[in-house]
Amino acid sequence: QYDGQPNAGPSPAGRGQRLPKDYMVESVLVTVFCCLLTGVVALVYSHETRAALSRGDMAQANVASKRAQSLVLFSLLFGLFASISWVIYVLVALYL
């Protein structure tokens, strides 16, 4: 009998455990807009997260997700630092 829930079976992550986020969109954005090198490495870990999830390896998916998250954050901060430094450099070069 259908009880109205789309997936009444057990989740692949187990009871009460959430699937780790893969950070694919964020990795693409920081690769394009912030830092190419660390963004590409974040993309690799994002892909590894998806691959581990597809084969059911939750431990590896969690590790790869955390690494992707760290690299996305580092890339974002590095990109902001580089942009702000460039603006300060241009302003100092123009007005001093």
pLDDT tens figures, 70-84: 999 999 999 999 999
State the Cα–Cα distance between residues 42 and 46, nearest whole angstrom: 6
pTM of the predicted structure, to 2 decimals: 0.78
Domain ranges for the chain, please list them. 23-95
The pLDDT of residue 96: 86
Task: Tell me which residues of the chain have a pLDDT lower than 50.
Answer: 2-10
- Token pair 């590095």 is found at 78
C-beta separation of 79 from 57 below 8 A: no
